Chains A and B, each alone.
Chain A
Amino acid sequence: ELKVEQNPLFLSMQEGKNYTIYCNYSTTSDRLYWYRQDPGKSLESLFVLLSNGAVKQEGRLMASLDTKARLSTLHITAAVHDLSATYFCAVAVMEYGNKLVFGAGTILRVKS
């Protein structure tokens, strides 16, 4: 059974600092997703990572995937308050269509 672990679960950081959120998963997969959720809102798609070594960047966020280590990272560069949200990684269960298994989420608070 696929399990997805995120850490840390809570991250409080100062504006301008860098930090990384980690996502480990237990079995082989062909897709990994990062989502953002603001309080009371739905999930916003950030990145889709498909292959080993994939790296995608959008603004201050950069996601990477190491399929051999079954590890993805979401790196935050020079954090700003607007990045405060909950970030989820989700891994597709192979041969099960679009079934995703989500991590517990990382609550990010960026302090001004």
Chain B
Amino acid sequence: QSVLTQPSSVSGTPGQRVTISCSGSISNIGSATANWYQQLPGTAPKLLIYAYDQRPSGVPDRFSGSKSGTSASLAISGLQSEDEADYYCATWDDSLNVVLFGAGTRLTVL
């Protein structure tokens, strides 16, 4: 099964804005959905963004999502030290009937 393509790492300084991209295909990100998860060390992933740009209650508005064609992006503004974590994009593929995950992006706050 194909996977979604994310950068392996990104970094930024406190207060900065960073973005993480996730590339898929027409049958998943292009037409279905994109969801983003944050995973802190030793904990279960937490849903940050769903359906491309929707934030669950309790998620700060510093986190935002967008879609362009067959790619999705997660933006984090006003970067904070506690944002240092692994970020995963995920989607449902309507052709394959499977959930796909990206390999993850490690965010380092310098």
Does chain A bind chain B?
Answer: no
